[in-house]
Amino acid sequence: MIRDIVHLNINVTDIDRSLAFYERLGFQTMHVFGDEPTDDPSQGMNFGGGHMRGAVITLGDHPRCWTKIELIQWVRPATEPQPARTTLHAGVSRIALRCKNLLSFYQELKADGIEFESEPNEIDIVGAKRFVLFRDPDGTLLELIEF
């Protein structure tokens, strides 16, 4: 029986750029791997001898409740950028991140040069009161949502 999601994986084209981006959002780096050949887990994942660099990043205050994302940059063969995705494509469409004071955080991120899909939207759905969409450096659609 499945009990919960341990982490999700996002392939990135530049691990250092992506780490800086997600850390700006409030994620903390839990573990970095793949910088040394002996620290490359790709063999156990049956990926055919490639080489990866990656990091596990977390959000949350308690280890049993952390939200974890694994960022992976394929070095050999290199991660291939994807064409721009829309919310109509199959697969994961967006990742929603709960936040407090969305309007203030939105202004901070916008001042830092992060581009948003629109201005924050006011809603009243299942306790949510506003949301806004933006993309990470590789085009993964992210959502800030405030309840």
pLDDT, tens digit, 9 for 90 and up, residues 63-105: 677 889 999 998 888 878 887 777 777 778 899 999 999 999 9
Q: What percent of the chain has pLDDT over 90?
A: 61
Burial zone of 118 (CB within 10 Å; 0-12 exposed, 13-18 middle, 19+ buried): exposed
Q: Which one of 21, 46, 76 terminates a domain?
A: 76
Based on the structure, what is the number of domains in the chain? 2
Q: Read off the pLDDT band of 44 (50, 70, 90).
A: low
Same structural domain for residues 106 and 58? no
Spatial separation of the C-alpha atoms in residues 72 and 15, rounded to whole Å? 7
Same structural domain for residues 29 and 68? yes
Sign of torsion over alpha carbons 141, 145, 63, 30: positive
2 falls within a domain: no
What value does the mean pLDDT of the chain take?
A: 87
Q: Read off the pLDDT band of 43 (50, 70, 90).
A: low
Report residue 63 as tokens. Answer: 């280890």
Sign of torsion over alpha carbons 147, 85, 2, 57: negative
Spatial separation of the C-alpha atoms in residues 130 and 146, rounded to whole Å? 5
Residue 120: which CATH number? 3.10.180.10
